[in-house]
Amino acid sequence: MDIQEIFKNNQDWVNEKLNLDKDYFTKLASGQSPEILYIGCSDSRVTAEELMGVGPGDVFVHRNIANMVSNIDLASMSVVNYAVSILKVNHVVVCGHYYCGGVKAAMESTDLGILNPWLRNIRDVYRLHKEELNAIQDEDKKYKRLVELNVQEQCVNILKTADVQIAYKERGITVHGWVFDISTGKLIDLNIDFDKVLKDIMEIYHLD
Which residues are designated catalytic?
A: 41, 43, 45, 97, 100
Does residue 43 belong to the site contacting Co ion (CB under 5 A)?
A: yes
Residue 43 vs 148, nearer CB to Co ion: 43
Residue 41 within binding range of Co ion, rule CB under 5 A? yes
Secondary structure element (H or E) that encloses residue 37, with its range = strand 36-41
Q: Residue 61, interface with Co ion (CB under 5 A)?
A: no
* Sequence-distant contacts of 107-115: CB under 8 A, at least 24 apart: 107/143, 107/146, 115/65
Among the listed ranges 99-107, 131-139, 146-154, 191-199, the one in contact with Co ion (CB under 5 A) is 99-107
Please tell me the distance from the alpha carbon of residue 180 to that of residue 142, in angstroms, as a whole number: 16
65 or 192, CB closer to Co ion? 65
Q: How far is the CB of 25 from Co ion (least distance, A)?
A: 32
- Residue 163 in contact with Co ion, rule: CB under 5 A: no
* Residue 106 engages Co ion in binding (rule: CB under 5 A): no
| Cβ-based nearer residue to Co ion, 80 or 119 | 119
Return d(Cα 139, Cα 159) in angstroms, integer: 30
Nearer of residues 180 and 194 to Co ion, judged by Cβ: 180
> Should residue 92 be labelled a site residue for Co ion when binding is judged by CB under 5 A?
no
Reference 116, options 100, 124, 71; nearest CA is 124
Candidates 4-12, 82-90, 101-109, 167-175; binding stretch for Co ion (CB under 5 A): 101-109
Q: How far is CA 112 from CA 44, 79, 105, 106, 169, in A?
A: 20, 26, 8, 9, 41
**CB within 8 A of 101, min separation 6: which ones?**
43
Smallest distance, Co ion to C-beta of residue 154, A: 12
DSSP conformation class of 56 = T
Contact 164, 158 (CB under 8 A): yes
Separation in Å, CA 194 to CA 152, 169, 187, 197, 202: 9, 14, 19, 5, 11
Total residues at the site for Co ion (CB under 5 A)? Answer: 4
Compute the least distance from the CB of residue 46 to Co ion, in Å.
7
Phi and psi at residue 6, to the nearest 5°: -60, -40
- Determine if 148 is a binding residue for Co ion (CB under 5 A): no
Residue closer to Co ion (CB basis): 45 or 199? 45
User: Minimum distance between the CB of residue 31 and Co ion, rounded to whole angstroms?
Assistant: 31
Contact footprint for Co ion (CB under 5 A) = 41, 43, 100, 102
